[in-house]
Amino acid sequence: MTLTEHELPKTRSGEPRAFFGRRSGKKLHGGQKAQVAEILPRFEIALAEQLDPRALFPEADRIVIEIGYGGGEHLARKAAEQPGTGFIGCEVFTGGIGKMVQAIEANDLENVRLYTDDALKLLMTLPEASVDEVYLLYPDPWPKTRHHKRRFVSPTTLDQLARVIRPGGVFNFATDIEDYADWTLAHILRQPSFIFAPQAPGSWHTPYPGWQPTRYERKARREGRMLSFYFSFPRQAV
């Protein structure tokens, strides 16, 4: 497969897109819907031509993005553990947004902002070297070969991640799908801004320090997928 076949599909206006699929499942119940309607506007990011994350978190010592936070367990926990860090969570699924809004309210998380559209749009508006760390945990693997171009990891998205992550920052990627792990490594090795330098063969199966399994990981284990890949790719220093 050639590199051009890994490029993202385009919108009708010719812009690359990185999100595919549904945005909602079960409808939010009345209480959830009211809570989201009341709280989300205080934390939701509205894009302009350029978004400076430091303006969102003027006192933060670090900026971290989680793309596709799902139910929000990892994002909410990290935000509670690191109150001095500004966290931006990207999710389009309404159920996940509702759960994250509930977590923000329950834990009084003032260091979180939410973006509810295609994460690539957000990345394209951020200044260069404006982010310290990015998480992409258990993204949709799009297992059918004809759908591989829908995977979030692509030359386009990695170019944007390389642009916005500061030198010395980190891109973290986790999956339980070996084919997606291979796909990601192949793309990383073509992207000179990121480093793949594991401490030892197989060390990528060791969870991140302080890791707690997400609900997607627990589901994978129940379905018999017992091995995950936890990659961390440092951004090449200038």
Residue located via tokens 């690539």? 120
CA distance 160 to 134: 12
Q: Would you say 172 and 238 are in contact if contact means Cβ atoms under 8 Å apart?
A: no
State yes or no: is 140 an active-site residue.
yes
CA distance 146 to 105: 41
Long-range contacts of 50-59 (CB under 8 A, 24+ apart): 50/125, 50/126, 50/127, 51/122, 51/125, 51/126, 52/126, 52/127, 52/130, 53/86, 53/88, 53/126, 53/130, 53/131, 54/130, 56/86, 56/88, 56/113, 57/86, 57/111, 57/113, 59/84
Q: Give Cα separations from 51 to 156, 178, 183, 187 (angstroms).
A: 19, 35, 30, 27
Encoding tokens for residue 145?
């070969």
CB count within 10 Å of CB 60 equals: 18
Given 52, 117, 140, 159, the catalytic residue: 140
CA distance 159 to 192: 10
**Residues noted as catalytic:** 140
